[in-house]
Amino acid sequence: MSSVPPALVDIMAAHQAIRGVAIETPAIRSSLGSDKAPIWLKLETLQPSGAFKLRGAANAVARLSPDARARGVVCCSTGNHGTALAYAAREMGVSATVCVSELVPEVKIHAIEAQGARVIKKGQSQDDAQIEANRLVAKEGVTDIPPFDHFDVISGQGTIGLELLRDLPELETVLVPLSGGGLAAGIAVAAKAIKPDIRIVGISMDRGAAMAESLRAARPVEVTEVPSLADSLGGGIGLQNQFSFDICRKLLDEVVLVAEEEIYRGMQSMFLQDRLVAEGACAVGHAAVLAGKIHLTGPTCSIITGRNIDMEQFTRVVTGQPVTLGDLVVRGT
């Protein structure tokens, strides 16, 4: 793998490589915002796998050598990357194994299995799942395709940035759910290469936000994972992080953290006002805007990252019922 981070040319190549597997998604106007500062929603929920992760996974599989394709692929995942890799691998005739922690919701495990992948549960964190993936690489010779800190994965996610500035060249700000940083890094590389003064804001939950804590510490650090409405944003960034941390450190203009109660209200707004069924991770943009944590002065786009949500939990949120997250009970107001 290259030690040089992805550039715009790599993202443009990825846009060609993923055609036929991932789709170009629309951006629709949100009920949030104003005439001066309209907010658009980039609907990655429409991807065949249900989330943006398909872009990076498809690019990574497409760039495998014939020998590597024959041996198969593996990853660790909090859900969406695993589903995406399973889908992309199936479409390209490659076997896939996905390692998950015990915190990953069953709905996401079923979605992975539905794409024909083998699922292995291991441990209480994404780091534990990665250890199992590493063991399979050594034992079975499969290729590890990590969920975010990977040249081809970041390049694939960056194709969102290409589409945004092609379709909405007037954009001033992009709101990006922030986890391991692959999405934010890819979008930032593409968007800032095309429009250097565009503002990229990473948004995460205020408990267990690995990239936010790492940026604050100026180095990758470990965090304790806790249950969250934005469960897709859980997991560490890896202490040996090669790409996503440095790109986020250099190119993100701001990082905003939102509380579970704010995510709850963001999910309600997305459904009741924008009529979107989407994960809590997608609602962090809505949450930050509604909580007054982001000041918008012009056209903005929020990335709606995925739809693979536990519908029982989603129903409780949108109907104003309490949701239990470990030792925390989140209630509507």
User: DSSP per residue over 25-84, as a string?
Assistant: PPEEEEEEE-SSSEEEEEEGGGSTTSBTHHHHHHHHHHTS-HHHHHH-EEEE-SSHHHHH
Q: Average the pLDDT over each of 125-134, 239-248, 258-267, 277-286 and give the range with the smallest value.
A: 125-134
Collapsing DSSP to helix, strand or coil, 47 comes out as coil
* DSSP state at residue 146: -
C-alpha to C-alpha distance for 260 and 258, rounded to whole angstroms? 7
38-49 residue pLDDT tens:
999 999 999 999
What's the average model confidence in pLDDT over 173-200?
97
Give the chain's mean pLDDT: 94
Residue 127 has pLDDT above 90, yes or no: no
What per-residue confidence (pLDDT) applies to 1?
A: 55
Dist. CA 176–CA 255, nearest whole Å: 9
* Average pLDDT score over residue span 89-93: 96
pLDDT band at 2 (very low <50, low <70, confident <90, very high): low
DSSP code for 22: B
Is the CB of residue 211 less than 8 Å from the CB of residue 179?
yes
**Alpha-carbon gap, residue 157 to 103, rounded angstroms:** 24
CB 145 within 8 A of CB 85: yes
Query: Per-residue pLDDT for 161 more than 70?
Result: yes
Tokens 């500035």 locate to 165
Work out the pLDDT band at 118, boundaries 50, 70, 90: very high
The whole-number pLDDT of residue 72 equals 97
Please choose, from the candidates 246, 243, 46, the residue with its C-alpha nearest in 3D space to the C-alpha of residue 163: 46
Burial of 2 (0-12, 13-18, 19+ CB in 10 A): exposed
Q: Is the dihedral of CA 254, 259, 262, 266 positive or negative?
A: positive
Tens of pLDDT, residues 10-32: 999 999 999 999 999 999 999 99
Q: 3 pLDDT band (50/70/90 cuts)? A: confident
The predicted model gives 200-214 an average pLDDT of 96
